[in-house]
Chains A and B, each alone.
Chain A
């Protein structure tokens, strides 16, 4: 079982309970989690469908791999339409650069905002969503920090308590405690080990559970809806390795949709 398979299943088990509405996902794991929840668990979220990585003709849009799985979208929603749907129940499954112990997320940069030491791409839609959840596939104190330098959004301002999913745990924001609360932990790590790999302090649920292994039915379905293994890309950090993986996927997709769609 891969880390990606288990993460997708963890996400699926929890987003199944979110109210019917739209979901906007920013990682392969999140997209697959919603797809598993839709198909196996009765989840009524619809993924942003039209602008995804597959266009309606099924052509790979490598620019948008997080949405690679919308080949048969449940709804045709254009980009502006995503914002129009935010008056309805909506869930953003975001992958910011950093999340801190106060539920702040940063997608802008490190250091001074005017002249950052390290600039990221920009805040995107983080402050806009009515409900925001975080998916950081690789659990690392580099991304799970005590305090972010720039608050793109603060998830604690939302009525719906936010989820924080990583390969090693599921935490949920606790409004009463004003802290992340650990609710599920992976079998291969203990709480001390998790604290050592987390840059902020967190509370522990009285009902702390081990993360479930992915059942056979979900694993089989993953291979159907993600035959090229895009979910594993969330865990590749080396640039060359990542580009090699993308290139393999690109070539496979070009074979699928037709070589006439490849620029010459």
Chain B
């Protein structure tokens, strides 16, 4: 698009931060690092980027996610996870997440349990480079017994009880967007969920997207920008990169695949088989860069 300055037009020809998922992630993956997973439940989960991590030679990962779904399941199936920090992991109306459940029940993976607000506050603290945040919380909750990173805060003002939540260290955040500009501006016309906070909280941010946009569309849809370019380190084109989950408003979830996952789990399928279903949508979509 021609504009008065020409600067946007000139830059649109450049690749910007566009790369492929291997180059975006592999050089930065290490044993024991913390991966932040964007999206919510079964919507806008970065499954194409998850697959890249699932095949990487790393171990002992911590997963930090607000509402985990098949992303957590696929990484559990890969055997690379030591710890999950979340307020919930499940398959929404498809029921409980079977591999997450097994991992908790076997004690094979540590589960650091949060409430939604405490985890949100902890992420906000990390985004603001603060060591902790203070939030109200039901003082009777057993989260105070099981999560050492939620503790009563000193009463500095007033008498109401408050709780301090420690900011996590998130090494890499992986997110999926409806569209992204090569410079890193990411768009969604659906719910942003906690992606903007997670992006600012993490040291490195990789965004996959259904499609690329140019300067003209960025200008036209600037109100839909939910991730600013300065917060994004790498951009990966991955149409269908959230499958078998949805990427609203682009596409609904893949119901047959979800049904296969639930029924295979109930029939006693192996982790490898479940992982294959969880990542199956990517075989027909995939990384196009």
Binding site for B on A (CB under 8 A): 50-51, 55-57, 59-65, 78-80, 83, 86, 104, 107-109, 113-128, 150-154, 156-158, 233, 239, 242-243, 246-247, 250, 253-254, 257, 261-264
Contacts and interface: CB of A to CB of B under 8 A. Distances in A.
A79 B192 contact: yes
A63 B96 contact: no
Contacts of B93: 62-65, 233, 242, 246
Given A152-B115, A157-B139, 6 more contacts: A50-B191, A57-B248, A62-B92, A79-B191, A86-B117, A156-B140
A154 B113 CA distance: 17
Interface in B99-147: 100-101, 104-107, 111, 113-118, 120, 137-143, 145-146
Tier of interface size on chain B: 35 or more
B117 A122 contact: no
Interface in B212-263: 240, 243-246, 248-255, 258-259, 262-263
Interface of B: 40-43, 69, 86-90, 92-97, 100-101, 104-107, 111, 113-118, 120, 137-143, 145-146, 189-194, 197, 240, 243-246, 248-255, 258-259, 262-263, 266, 281, 284
Contacts of A233: 93
Nearest to B110: A114
A114 B115 CA distance: 16
A208 B249 CA distance: 47
B105 A55 contact: no
Q: Interface residues of B: mostly helix, strand, loop or mixed?
A: mixed
A61 B143 contact: no
Contacts of B192: 78-80
Contact of B255 (A154, A247, A257): A247
Contacts of B101: 119
Contacts of A253: 252
17 contacts: A55-B189, A55-B249, A59-B248, A62-B93, A63-B246, A64-B41, A79-B192, A121-B96, A121-B100, A122-B90, A124-B115, A151-B141, A153-B140, A157-B138, A239-B95, A254-B252, A263-B240
A6 B259 CA distance: 30
A150 B252 contact: no
Most buried by B among A50, A113, A262, A263: A263
A100 B245 CA distance: 35
B134 to A, nearest CB: 14
Nearest to B196: A80
Contacts of A157: 138-140
